Amino acid sequence: MNKMTLKATVASAALAVVAAGAQAEKWDMPMAYAASNYHSEMGVVFADKVRDYTGGDIDITVHAGGSLFKGGEIKRAVQTGQAPIGERLMSAHTNEEPLLGWDNLPFLATSYADNDKLWAVAKDKVNAKLAEQNLVTLYSCPWPGQGFYFKKEVNSSEDTQGVKFRSYNTATATFAEELGMIPVQVEAAELSQALATGVVDAFISSGSTGYDRKVWEQLGYYYKVNAWLPRNYVMVNKQVWDGLSADTQAAIQKAADETGAACTAKSEELANWYFEQLEANGMKVVDAGPEFRAELEAIGAKMTDEWLATVGEDGQEIVDAFKAN
Query: What domains, with CATH codes, occur in the chain?
Result: 26-143+230-273 (3.40.190.170), 147-228+283-324 (3.40.190.170)
Query: What is the pLDDT at residue 281?
Result: 98
Query: What is the pLDDT at residue 324?
Result: 96
Closest CA to 181 of 209, 220, 148, 212: 148
Count CB-CB contacts under 10 A for residue 232. Answer: 26
Query: What is the pLDDT at residue 325?
Result: 83
Q: What is the dihedral of CA 137, 138, 144, 146, to 10 degrees?
A: -10
Rounded average pLDDT per 10-residue block, the chain, 325 residues: 40 37 85 95 98 98 96 97 97 94 96 97 97 98 97 98 94 94 93 96 96 96 97 98 98 98 98 98 98 97 96 98 94
* Spatial contact of 86 and 30, defined as CB atoms under 8 Å apart: yes
Q: Distance between CA atoms of 172 and 88, rounded to whole angstroms? A: 16
Closest CA to 212 of 64, 36, 76: 36
Q: C-alpha angle with apex 231: 189 to 159, nearest 5 degrees?
A: 65
Q: Distance between CA atoms of 67 and 86, rounded to whole angstroms? A: 12
Strands 231-237 and 85-89: antiparallel
Closest CA to 252 of 50, 55, 87: 50
Count CB-CB contacts under 10 A for residue 107. Answer: 17
Query: What is the pLDDT at residue 21?
Result: 44
* Spatial contact of 112 and 206, defined as CB atoms under 8 Å apart: no
Query: What is the pLDDT at residue 189?
Result: 86
Q: Distance between CA atoms of 46 and 74, rounded to whole angstroms? A: 18
H-run or E-run covering 299: helix 290-311
* Spatial contact of 80 and 288, defined as CB atoms under 8 Å apart: no
Closest CA to 287 of 164, 155, 106: 155
DSSP β-bridge partners for residue 86:
235
pTM for this structure?
0.89
